[in-house]
A and B are shown apart, each in its own frame.
Chain A
Amino acid sequence: MERIELERVASQVRRDIVRMVAGVNSGHPGGSLGCADFLTFLYFDVMKHNPKNFTMDGIGEDLFFLSNGHISPVWYSVLARSGYFPVADLGTFRKLSSKLQGHPSTDKKLPGIRMASGSLGQGLSVAIGAAQVKKMNKDASFVYCLHGDGELQEGQIWEAAMYAAANNVDNIIATIDYNGRQIDGDVEDVLSLGNLHDKWQAFGWSVLEMDGHNFNDMNNVMQKAQSLCENGKPVVIIMKTEMGQGVDFMVGSHKWHGVAPNPEQLVNALSQLEETLGDY
């Protein structure tokens, strides 16, 4: 897809995000806005997938796992805009009996979701398990997963990292949303990750860096990531983003991690985001 088209989709996704969280006065807009460009790019330009005929096993398709489940608004919007379910369903986010739970779940059978997430640190292991089965099934497609940077404080991430490298799980491309923020403040202050690039490298992964708000850069880096696959090493992309990207009063602060805009702030936010595909 052309860059200009991706930008138009991402603008609508951002509108969906702020409208969804404002609609129920809860949810996580900051990280969602920060990953709007990446998930738009992944679902509209990178993955081989079949939105009209979702299957849990996803044989022959690329798979995606959202490990940092709290940014569900961006995932739900991208799934709906890709055609997994009607965009009107976005209006049910976090409401009673909705398939769009606060954090992603499978129990209400929302098409596009293969694993519950929310309790952090589990998604890398899940993605690795799915990737190993793809190899057993001689299925050449890729497994993608996304993680928060704060999430890397969970020990299980590093169990999984060690395991994937030791077992040559080289059909997985993990991406870290490196926005430097978490609930209590800057990641650097809460619990520093140290040299993240070197850590992943020391764990045996191929490490790439990427600008998560530049479609040309994402295109180049993702092609490089794919070319590194099937060479015996798992691949991780450290993706620089800004929490709250696209809304001037939200950008670059941890304060909008898990707070919804009030009606006045919503009007302000929407005035900054072009309606390109029609609001739900």
Chain B
Amino acid sequence: MKDFEIFGNKDTRSGFGEGLAELGRTNKDVVALCADLTGSLKMDAFLKENPERFFQMGIAEANMMSVAAGMTIGGKIPFTGTFANFSTGRVYDQIRQSIAYSQKNVKICASHAGLTLGEDGATHQILEDIGMMKMLPNMTVIVPADFNQTKQATLAIAKHVGPVYLRFGRPVMPIFVPADADFVIGKADVLIEGTDLTIIACGHLVWKSIEAAKILSEQGISVELINMHTIKPLDVQAILKSVQKTKCVVTAEEHMMNGGLGDSVAQVLAQNFLAPQEYVAVNDSFGESGTPMELMTKYGIDTQNVVDAALKAIGRK
């Protein structure tokens, strides 16, 4: 298996912050709204350079979502920023009516998603957000894999017309996507080509899957790894092309098993090409306090879980 070049270690939220700052310089229609988490969302640079286009909303997320929807009328492109929990569940009805159903060009940017928010515990560790957002008609759902890709995705969604949910996180993780890579919404990246098994991952689990592929490769297993950064619209062709070759699949995500990337892939397989699938995801459970990496291990979304799932999926062929 090829070695991945590592370009450093950073958090994906910082990729968002850099992308937003660049948009501040290059796209005068972009406005940013934040519900009292400017530092956590890394929106400081945009605020500093564009104070007239930054809106401090206070701790009032419902108002923030509907104000953002209203700001599209007159041609602005609003980017909202708060934690993933407060970007989705707390404001689902506002997003549903004023953004998704009304087809407004709002970019919902959600940090601290999943277990890797860490010590704050389950109240803040949302694991249902991908499911909620992908169920909404008109919504695009993007979960980039690393710092560089989050920056690229932030730039890409400003050019896309329509509602977008962009999910990223807090922990510092290796950067493996080249800074000059193309990011195309809805087009999956095949990171490793292989023949025995397909791993389809998103977000932080892409790096975990790279680690797992290395271990599996040492055991003589040829893994094909797909970075499925866009959950919706899903790159069905990429899934089918790979699974028709490998005949089995593992999906890996920092999300609830119900309703996440895995279920989207299962739907494609059920409708088009039956193949054994194993899930690496949180199994119907809330999280708890702990360090990000301790939590990934305890809740079964770590490198070893991907390896175990791979062996199981291959065994079911």
Contacts and interface: CB of A to CB of B under 8 A. Distances in A.
Interface of A: 56-59, 63, 65, 105-107, 114-119, 121-123, 125-134, 136-137, 139, 155-156, 159-160, 162-163, 166-167
B62 A125 contact: yes
B40 interface: no
B217 interface: no
B27 interface: no
Given A106-B103, A116-B98, A58 B73 contact: yes
Given A107-B102, A117-B97, A133-B76, 19 more contacts: A105-B101, A115-B70, A115-B73, A116-B101, A119-B93, A121-B62, A127-B70, A129-B67, A129-B68, A129-B70, A132-B55, A133-B75, A134-B74, A156-B62, A156-B63, A156-B94, A159-B62, A160-B67, A163-B63
A65 B57 CA distance: 21
Contacts of B96: 119
Contacts of B94: 122, 125, 156
Contacts of B102: 105-107, 115-116
B70 A126 contact: yes
Most buried by B among A58, A131, A163: A163
Contacts of B53: 136
B28 to A, nearest CB: 10
Nearest to B96: A119
A63 B73 contact: yes
B67 A155 contact: no
Contact of B74 (A58, A155, A162): A58
Contacts, number: 112
B71 A129 contact: yes
Contacts of B75: 57, 59, 133, 137
B58 interface: yes
B110 interface: no
Contacts of B62: 121-122, 125, 155-156, 159
A165 to B, nearest CB: 12
A131 B73 CA distance: 9
Contacts of A122: 62, 66, 93-94, 97-98
B60 interface: yes
B69 to A, nearest CB: 6
A125 B63 CA distance: 6
A119 B97 contact: yes
A116 B101 CA distance: 7
A133 B63 contact: no
A117 to B, nearest CB: 7
Nearest to B75: A57
Given A63-B73, A156-B62, A126 B101 contact: no
Given A59-B74, A139-B74, A155-B62, A129 B69 contact: yes
